[in-house]
């Protein structure tokens, strides 16, 4: 029974690999029909290298907000194609659009298989990049993206030149929980510092109050002394 199950899994895996190969062969030579984004009346066949696909994904990320605004997609794909042409990849907007549709279809099929089997059954060099663009747990940063050979491709620059690399967000380092003694010590230190600050403020207020009372008493004494002096003068004047 176990052998039968294993044979079925291997057969499904072979069929899926054959499907991927068929998808790649279909996308490798994209021939565009009449379209406003075509570069010429007759499109030349284009072989999509891994480098070209990566640039396509980078440029899609650069224009993703334009796609969300429901602008004319033909114009956006033509702009993306222009960036690829600058890098030596002679494609037009329709070919880029067709390739993107194929990548999304392949990604969905692989993801569905992963979800069903719970394991990475098929290796695809663009899975991480597509997860970045279509998933919600990734982000853009100018670092390396691994190729199908496992070696990183280092590209630098800005989005207008088509050189931002898509990568998955690295896992956040979780802070180790503090031990109970350390927590108590920190709370004690903070409490002591707060109490010291309160004591200093109280001492300062008492000192200022004492100084005010001392000045007030001195002024009162001076006033009384002046009154006695005037009374003495009046008495002397009255006695004359």
pLDDT of residue 237: 85
pLDDT of residue 136: 54
Cβ-count burial 106-115 (b if 16+ within 10 Å, e if not): bbebbbebee
pLDDT tens-digit profile of 192-204?
999 999 999 999 9
Selection from 17, 11, 45, 222 nearest residue 110 by Cα: 17
Selection from 139, 131, 132, 133 nearest residue 114 by Cα: 131
Q: What are phi and psi of 33, to 5 degrees?
A: -90, -170
Coil, helix or strand for 30? coil
pLDDT of residue 152: 42
Q: Is the pTM of this model over 0.75?
A: no
pLDDT of residue 134: 85
Write down the mean pLDDT value for the chain: 74
* Strand pairing category for 152-153 and 166-168: unpaired
Residue 109 has pLDDT above 70, yes or no: yes
Q: Which residue has the tokens 């480098």?
A: 51
The structural domains of the chain, with segments of one domain joined by +, span 2-168, 180-240
CA distance 165 to 153: 9
Residue 68 has pLDDT above 70, yes or no: yes
């Amino acid at each position: 029974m176990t052998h039968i199950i294993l044979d079925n899994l291997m057969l499904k895996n072979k069929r899926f690999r054959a499907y991927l190969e068929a998808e790649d062969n279909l996308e490798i030579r994209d021939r565009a029909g009449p379209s406003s984004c075509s570069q010429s009346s007759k499109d030349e066949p284009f072989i999509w290298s891994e480098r070209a696909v990566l640039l396509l994904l980078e440029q899609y990320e650069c224009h993703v907000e334009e796609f969300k605004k429901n602008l004319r997609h033909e114009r956006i794909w033509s702009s993306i194609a222009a960036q690829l042409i600058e890098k030596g990849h002679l494609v037009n907007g329709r070919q880029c659009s067709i390739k993107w549709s194929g990548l999304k279809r392949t990604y969905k099929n692989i993801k569905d298989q992963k979800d069903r089997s719970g394991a990475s059954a098929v290796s695809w060099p663009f899975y991480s990049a597509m997860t970045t663009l279509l998933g919600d747990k990734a982000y853009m940063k100018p670092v390396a993206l691994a190729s199908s050979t496992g070696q990183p491709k280092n590209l630098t620059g800005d989005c207008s030149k088509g050189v931002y690399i898509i990568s998955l967000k690295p896992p956040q380092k979780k802070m180790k929980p503090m031990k109970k003694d350390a927590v108590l010590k920190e709370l004690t230190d903070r409490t002591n510092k707060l109490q010291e600050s309160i004591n200093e403020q109280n001492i300062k207020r008492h000192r200022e109050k004492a100084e005010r009372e001392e000045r007030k008493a001195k002024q009162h004494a001076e006033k009384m002394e002046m009154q006695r002096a005037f009374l003495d003068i009046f008495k002397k004047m009255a006695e004359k």
